[in-house]
Amino acid sequence: MATYQDLKGKRVFITGASSGIGAGMAKALAEQGAKLVLHYCKNSLGIKNTLKIVKTIGADATILQGDFRDYASLGELFNQAWLEFNGLDALVNNAGVVTKSTALRDIEGLAFSETLAVNLQAPYRLSTLFAKACIDAGQPGVVINNSSIHGQQTCEWFSAYAASKAGLDAMMKVMAVEWGKHGIRVNNLAPGVVPVERTFDILNQPKMEQKWVKTIPMGRYGSVEEMGQATAFMLSEASAWMTGSTLTIDGGLIARGGYPIRED
């Protein structure tokens, strides 16, 4: 595990930290000595478990609850997060929903709208609040958005999800350009196939694993621990000149595209 000494004592707000990649991010940053504000929506048992893990590691951490579908509440949520440790050094927009539905099953666009509200509008609101707070405080800052390979290349059933992630990728670039002069870096992490609590069993079924793994050049799934380590790197001074970029970690899945597999 790489160590980033500059992350020790850094105040980081992680959304969607009750399970999956968000919990992996929290653990990795706790191991670096960061102070953590951990957000959750409904999974109270999950966030308590994440809190227990990071506190066992020795991190100073607290939790906040909020529903990102309630756009009007995001200002108060951010203010609470900012005040927990008398300011924040970084924001990790991890919370999101994975919507799988054909467009024709969502003709009125209800699922589409809700997906964009959680995956795109909420990160926009929180990021702008964070940037303004940093500028007012005269300090630098870092924003990391958890995007997806679906923002770059997608498939059936993902019109809402892919649109939200592609929008997140575009939004990140604009924010990086606008805020660079203030010392605020903005980047995206784009994970590939990473089993989490809700997908672990199905992805590890022999038939499903064979179907997926053969398309991944590295020959395996990713892990939440690896996504956490990538986040630590992106928040650290090791990536000090990195902004406006998407770090794709997918075992080479996007690189090989959807072409037939050629045997040696």
Active site residue ranges: 161
User: DSSP state, 64?
Assistant: E
Buried b / exposed e along 19-30 (16+ C-beta atoms within 10 A): bbbbbbbbbbbb
Q: Give the Cβ contact number of residue 76 at 10 Å.
A: 11
Question: Which residues fall within 8 angstroms of residue 262, CB to CB, at 6 or more apart?
Answer: none
Question: Which residues fall within 8 angstroms of residue 50, CB to CB, at 6 or more apart?
Answer: 17, 18, 19, 22, 23, 26, 27, 38
60 in helix, strand or coil? coil
User: DSSP state, 205?
Assistant: S
